[in-house]
């Protein structure tokens, strides 16, 4: 991409003139009420997958384009499934055969797709700021959802994680949350920090080796720990992060074995957290690197619940950005 890659400093550019979501690009800058509205609206979609007919007609006639310039399986699949459950038409762009690979600018490609009367672009890109750039280029009737851009943001992942936390521990003001691992390269961590702080979580910790904790992260209102046992003491929620090997330019850790020895989550390490602590991971999991299999598959784990909740969150965001606001139309009201 030949355009500037810095993310849009105006975090409210994702809102329309009435303060409603037009795009969903970042959790940064959104208020507690705005984030809570997304969570509440997602609740209305949580049971759609258990119905005999797993569809609601909210987005019938809408066309949604998945633009994944970076490989993904679970994120693209859950976005596609969410769109189809809303009765939208879904297209997946073959990036390897797309015109951008042949020299056409990204803006020209977008305008060509707009001419096909697409209503939404779901964008994943390796460069930070790509989703904001695309949102500035599209026509007024088109919405953009950021499905992950570089090391910058992954807002729907953060919201599905927050949704999962709320299912188990609804009072954020009483929670201590630890985010463990590769904070420096994780777009999930950044989006979660902004969301959890806005929702009023009592204590938010980041834990990891010095090489994987970005300088100045304390300014976001988090406590920094380099010792895992100290960082996990008395926490309610443990969020383990995947090592972002594809975004590492050098030797940030001595070895995966050494990383697991110091920062891998095991039963012994989890014992210092609260007895009812929940364990989360955005996936895909590197077993024996970030987390022991006994923990990933154990009674504290809510990892598979995160995947299920991701569909409800993405349904809510898609419906809201395309003009259906939570509280006006719900899955139950439109089920008939």
Look up tokens 């939208």; give the residue. Answer: 88
Packing angle, helices 303-321 and 74-85, rounded to 10: 50
327 marked as binding residue:
no
242 marked as binding residue:
yes
75 marked as binding residue:
yes
The string of DSSP codes covering 178-234 is: EEES-TTT-HHHHHHHHHHHHTT-SEEEEE--GGGS-TTGGGGT-EEESSHHHHHTT
74 marked as binding residue:
yes
Q: What does the alpha-carbon distance between residue 172 and residue 192 come to, in Å, rounded to a whole number?
A: 13
- Please, are residues 179 and 208 in contact by the beta-carbon 8 Å criterion? no
169 marked as binding residue:
no
187 marked as binding residue:
yes
Tokens matching residue 91: 């297209």
Tokens matching residue 171: 């009072």
14 marked as binding residue:
no
176 marked as binding residue:
no
What contacts 155, CB < 8 A, 6 or more positions away? Answer: 24, 25, 26, 27, 146, 191, 195
What contacts 295, CB < 8 A, 6 or more positions away? Answer: 265, 266, 267, 270, 279, 301
261 marked as binding residue:
no
HSE toward the beta carbon, residue 9, CA cutoff 13 A: 1
Q: Sign of dihedral through CA atoms 269, 275, 278, 284?
A: positive
Phi, psi values for residue 213, rounded to 5°? -110, 120
Nearest to 158 by CA among 172, 143, 170, 146: 146
157 marked as binding residue:
yes
Annotated binding site: 74-75, 102, 124, 154, 157, 187, 242, 283-284
Annotated binding site for carbamoyl phosphate: 74-75, 124, 154, 157, 283-284
Annotated binding site for L-aspartate: 102, 187, 242
């Amino acid at each position: 991409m030949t355009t500037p890659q810095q993310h849009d400093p105006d975090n409210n550019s994702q809102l329309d003139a009435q303060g409603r979501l037009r795009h969903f690009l970042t959790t940064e800058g959104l208020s507690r009420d705005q984030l809570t509205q997304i969570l509440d609206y997602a609740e209305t979609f949580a049971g759609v997958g258990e119905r005999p007919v797993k569809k609601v007609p909210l987005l019938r006639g809408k066309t949604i384009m998945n633009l994944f310039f970076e490989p993904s399986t679970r994120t693209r699949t859950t976005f596609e499934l969410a769109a189809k459950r809303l009765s939208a038409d879904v297209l997946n762009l073959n990036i390897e055969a797309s015109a951008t690979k042949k020299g056409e600018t990204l803006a020209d490609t977008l305008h060509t797709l707009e001419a096909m009367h697409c209503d939404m672009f779901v964008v994943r890109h390796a460069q930070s700021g790509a989703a904001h750039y695309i949102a500035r280029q599209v026509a007024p009737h088109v919405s953009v959802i950021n499905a992950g851009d570089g090391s910058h943001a992954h807002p729907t992942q953060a919201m599905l994680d927050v949704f999962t936390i709320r299912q188990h521990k609804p009072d954020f003001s009483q929670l201590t949350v630890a985010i463990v691992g590769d904070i420096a390269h994780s777009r999930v961590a950044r989006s979660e920090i902004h969301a959890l702080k806005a929702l009023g979580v009592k204590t938010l910790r980041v834990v990891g080796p010095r090489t994987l904790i970005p300088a100045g992260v304390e300014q976001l209102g988090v406590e920094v720990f380099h010792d895992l046992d100290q960082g996990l003491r008395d926490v309610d929620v443990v969020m383990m992060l995947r090592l972002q090997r594809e975004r590492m330019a050098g030797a940030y850790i001595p070895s995966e074995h050494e990383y697991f020895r110091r920062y891998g989550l095991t039963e012994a390490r989890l014992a210092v957290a609260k007895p009812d602590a929940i364990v989360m991971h955005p996936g895909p999991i590197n077993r024996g690197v970030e987390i022991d299999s006994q923990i990933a598959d154990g009674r504290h784990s809510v990892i598979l619940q995160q995947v299920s909740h991701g569909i409800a969150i993405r349904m809510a965001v898609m419906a809201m950005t395309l003009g259906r606001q939570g509280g006006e139309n719900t899955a139950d009201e439109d089920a008939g």
